[in-house]
Structure 1
Amino acid sequence: MTSTNSLRASISGERWWGGFTAEITLTNTSTQDLSSWSYSFDSPHLLNTAPWGAEISAVLLDNGLTRYTLTGEDWGERIPAGESVTVGFNGTQGTELGNEGELSAAMLFASDSGEAVTSQAGQESAESSDTTTNPALEPVIATPEMTSPMESSMASPMSEHGMGNHGMNHGSSSGDYIDINTWGSFHGSNHNSEQNELVGGRTAITTEALLAYNGLRDFAGLAPASIEAVGSWAFENGLTNNSQPGGNDLQGVGLWFAMQGAKVGWIADASYDPQILADIQRTARLGSSGEVMQMIEQFGHEGFANYLTTNQLEEHFINTLKMEPHYGGWMHGRTHGFRDIEGVAIAHDIHHLTVLGWDQNEPFMNDTFDWPQWPALDVSDNTVINYYQGIVALEDPLSENLENFAGSSSPSASGTMQSDSLTGSPLEVQVSGDLWEGGFTASINVTNQSNQSLDDWGVSFISAHQFYGESWGVDISTQDLGDGLYRYELTGADWAQSLAAGQAMTVGFNALSGEDLSGDSSLTSELLMAPGTELALL
């Protein structure tokens, strides 16, 4: 516990596999109300950008740590004299903390920080107090003049998509696409340095891969899938390090497998040869797009090259071929996969198909790019291509997949992904949530299935339920229609205001139920909306 003249902080929380939930209780021990406060500390962990009761900003330090600053907002902004407020956040473990048990300050903060970390608060009276610093493990709360959240944000800007990249030299976004490191990085889990990972035209893994992946699914007659859906499939099929996801695992794992499926699943069964993956990735990275398209025409499923051209997906597909599987450490840190393959290899060995040597002339190379991934070479070609087509189909990777691939598709000439059944647009909306006595908590998952960023998105619906309390990620406007019905308009706000191409976010709100929901187990779109009405895009 940390103490100063007027503010005391204590840390608690829980650890879970790959992540944690932290709570910071701040107690105002003075006789004056605090109108605002901020709290700063250095940490090796990746904190979620949506804390409760506070705003968060971050600066990546030269020593590989991140300096986070929490500033009270909404119900957590003001601390009356003698009272406390508890704010919190989720995080991804940047150093190993174990998969269960309580979280302590020693686990959350960097113990080897060489400088004092101070925090600030503003008092509602003219009372003055001294600023104190303490270079010990826990950060110090002080009470000088108030620093506004805007000033704090300007002084400590966060990266575009959140927390930076924790020791990686690569940014957390690339144009309109999200870098996989946004959801955490596991650098050090493989044998290449961050510089060596991206030599020879190799590039970072971003959500552009989801466009290529869903394009391949569309060609096969399958509906678009979110990265969370792909991630869930990987966990269900034993293709990951852990049996259960934690933190942002579903997003990172889903994006990684979507990239792999797009890289390989386009190859026709009869044409498959591991060497194709070396030749086409090397050509994408160092050659011309025309040469890549010729190879797709030669080795791909009939009509797929024309599909890419017609739907303007050539660039997305080629850019996905350039991506390096080792980037960010997810290949070892989360998608290792111990599932048995023909009794001679495991899933991780099969993943090395897209790992090339330094000269990029051979596939199935090991982590150092120097030697083959020997067990993978003993797996039959039929099993390998079905494994990757299973990633595309989201089916059992060891079964026959996409057997009628070439004849299953009627490619769209519009150049857009399939429309969501709820909104009729490239914005996919899924409704879920928890019911409680007299009300519910709604979770609205929105996915941008287009190849362009969606700014200022919004949806509307009519409901018998009454919005109550708080919302997160959306602003809500309400119109009373009479007869117990309300029209709601939800527009993206704060961290969820814009959706990059392929990005999915979950926003939500609380509501009081206008009708009896006690017989139901969870919230659905049918329960949320009034009978005979539909959710519409604004």
Structure 2
Amino acid sequence: MTSTNSLRASISGERWWGGFTAEITLTNTSTQDLSSWSYSFDSPHLLNTAPWGAEISAVLLDNGLTRYTLTGEDWGERIPAGESVTVGFNGTQGTELGNEGELSAAMLFASDSGEAVMSQASEESAESSNTTAEPMVTQQGMGDDGMHQGHTMQPTTVSGSGGGFTDINTWGSFHGSNHNSEQNELVGGRTAITTEALLAYNGLRDFAGLAPASIETVGSWAFENGLTNNSQPGGNDLQGVGLWFAMQGAKVGWISDASYDPQILADIQRTARLGSSGDVMQMIEEFGHEGFANYLTTNQLEEHFINTLKMEPHYGGWMHGRTHGFRDIEGVAIAHDIHHLTVLGWDQNEPFMNDTFDWPQWPALDVSDNTVINYYQGIVALEDPLSENLENLSGAATSLDSTASEPSPSASRSDPETVQFDPLTGAPLEVQVSGDLWEGGFTASMNVTNQSDQSLDDWGVSFISAHQFYGESWGVDISTQDLGDGLYRYELTGADWAQSLAAGQAMTVGFNALSGEDLSGDSSLTSELLMAPGTELALL
């Protein structure tokens, strides 16, 4: 990036399965120290709320993007004259960026241009505009008189893309298929089906360690598995069918196998439409896959998920016009009957209602709970809906059905077949150390990859170092033991969004530290610089 002002920003980072790690390097090209700064941009992605070197705030825009503002804090707040500071954050891909490779500014801002030219500009309020804001840096310096002088600079060639959420009727409507497809039937908090459901759906896929999927991909899966009226798509069928199934997968696939009961589908949709978001999140905590409620909160997906629960499956007529699947389910029902489990009565106290919302869809009640939850989890995994799906996710402790099958046990630290207690060489968990050095300390990044074929829950690593943990960590909890002689033993365990690693999944976690020895002659952090000589990183 080039700049016509005294502060220059550049974007770098890495893409990984379903997410990315972004770093923003801000360089003060002036002869005066900057005491504070902020950087704003619009993005389709979901940023983690625990950046390093900065605070982050977010405003959801009407065009479907989010306006993020980073403000320097701690070691990242002040930028001396002629020096740089690198801050960063992890994020979940809101649009597909691929599973590996470098991250560019164009990818972060969803722009066709990878270069941003900085120029003088005034800041625009996110609340007063529905257009896409170009990335903006605000700097605060010290003038000759010792008073703060505010400046702003704004890239002129980088802009976001995308519009508001798209209504499913954009790809067609089938109002003749049933009378509950009309707008005037959206009562009791029921809402239209829009592409906001894809955010909730891909959030659930990311939680399960799966890459984001487009509505066309989901639509193709539905046709391939015999879940549609027609054997082949025509017109815009892939988009409409894909969006409809993404909505259904997000509505149900979050429930743990051990907790599933059809009544949950009525209770949580009714609560989303007529109750409070806090009550919805409490139900997700109680009945969902372990850690999913926290994942939604950490990744700012609560609103998108709750809005998806509000959507009416009959809206637009797609439920009968295109997704009336005839695939046999246990010899007692067809796919269409299973779809009716998310249809509620007029008072929204009962699930599995028929097209007029006043009578149970009886065949759906004869299908086993295990088959139903795996059917909906198959929508999320894009696998055979009649097979066991998402078995790597652990179940919640609470179950409404005492006869429900227990979830398959996932790998843990106590399982000797999947987790070794030896040094990392040859173990199923691969850890790569990198990071940035700054005056008196460093920011460490650890890319952790589960190389086994099973989920690793509550993973952890240990190492000995002469450096002192300082400030914040992200994705890990850190415990410290003072060994004397200037050495410390650190134990890092996965936390929050990084607590569990699905088979093949990689995540980047990290922390800040004060250097216990001179690192000024080195350009970047390595495992050799992080750990004490003669020691190795080991699994817990």
TM-score by length of 2: 0.45
SS at match of 1:297: helix
CA distance in 2 between counterparts of 1:526 and 1:319 reads: 48
SS at match of 2:128: coil
SS at match of 2:503: coil
User: Deviation digits for residues 168-221 of structure 1, max 9, x if unmatched?
Assistant: 999999972000000000112113251453110000000000000000000000
CA gap 1:167/1:189 in 2 versus in 1, 3 angstroms: farther
1:211–1:502 Cα contact (<8 Å) kept: no
CA gap 1:455/1:236 in 2 versus in 1, 3 angstroms: same
- The more displaced of 85-94 and 391-400 is 85-94
CA gap 1:521/1:221 in 2 versus in 1, 3 angstroms: same
CA gap 1:98/1:32 in 2 versus in 1, 3 angstroms: same
- The more displaced of 1-10 and 174-183 is 1-10
1:461–1:533 Cα contact (<8 Å) kept: yes
Give runs of aligned pairs for residues 45-444 of structure 1, distance below 5 A: 176-192=164-180, 194-406=182-394
**Which of the residues 488, 502, 505 maps onto 1:503?**
505
CA distance in 2 between counterparts of 1:531 and 1:505 reads: 26
Q: CA deviation at 1:406?
A: 2.9
Q: CA deviation at 1:404?
A: 1.6
2:14–2:102 Cα contact (<8 Å) kept: yes
CA distance in 2 between counterparts of 1:449 and 1:176 reads: 39
SS at match of 1:174: coil
SS at match of 1:217: helix
| Structure 2: segments with no counterpart, 5+ residues | 153-159, 396-409
CA distance in 2 between counterparts of 1:239 and 1:349 reads: 11
1:41–1:117 Cα contact (<8 Å) kept: no
CA gap 1:425/1:293 in 2 versus in 1, 3 angstroms: farther
User: Deviation digits for residues 220-261 of structure 1, max 9, x if unmatched?
Assistant: 000000000000000000000000000000000000000000
User: Deviation digits for residues 481-506 of structure 1, max 9, x if unmatched?
Assistant: 99999999999999999999999999
User: Deviation digits for residues 446-487 of structure 1, max 9, x if unmatched?
Assistant: 999999999999999999999999999999999999999999
1:168–1:194 Cα contact (<8 Å) kept: no
**Which of the residues 477, 487, 490 maps onto 1:488?**
490
CA distance in 1 between counterparts of 2:368 and 2:518 reads: 57
TM-score by length of 1: 0.45
Q: CA deviation at 1:523?
A: 41
CA distance in 1 between counterparts of 2:524 and 2:495 reads: 26
CA gap 1:94/1:6 in 2 versus in 1, 3 angstroms: same
Q: CA deviation at 1:39?
A: 49
Q: CA deviation at 1:42?
A: 40
- The more displaced of 312-321 and 466-475 is 466-475
CA distance in 1 between counterparts of 2:217 and 2:145 reads: 26
User: Deviation digits for residues 83-112 of structure 1, max 9, x if unmatched?
Assistant: 999999999999999999999999999999
CA distance in 2 between counterparts of 1:268 and 1:157 reads: 40
CA distance in 2 between counterparts of 1:190 and 1:520 reads: 69
1:208–1:502 Cα contact (<8 Å) kept: no
2:46–2:300 Cα contact (<8 Å) kept: no
CA distance in 2 between counterparts of 1:404 and 1:502 reads: 11
SS at match of 1:111: coil
Q: CA deviation at 1:290?
A: 0.2
CA distance in 2 between counterparts of 1:123 and 1:311 reads: 26
2:132–2:161 Cα contact (<8 Å) kept: no
1:92–1:248 Cα contact (<8 Å) kept: no
Q: CA deviation at 1:438?
A: 60
1:18–1:246 Cα contact (<8 Å) kept: no
- The more displaced of 11-20 and 336-345 is 11-20
1:46–1:163 Cα contact (<8 Å) kept: no
Q: CA deviation at 1:379?
A: 0.6
Q: CA RMSD in A?
A: 15.0
CA gap 1:311/1:173 in 2 versus in 1, 3 angstroms: closer
CA distance in 2 between counterparts of 1:274 and 1:265 reads: 12
CA distance in 1 between counterparts of 2:27 and 2:139 reads: 32
CA gap 1:117/1:84 in 2 versus in 1, 3 angstroms: closer
SS at match of 2:464: strand
2:226–2:325 Cα contact (<8 Å) kept: yes
User: Deviation digits for residues 300-333 of structure 1, max 9, x if unmatched?
Assistant: 0000000000000000000000000000000000
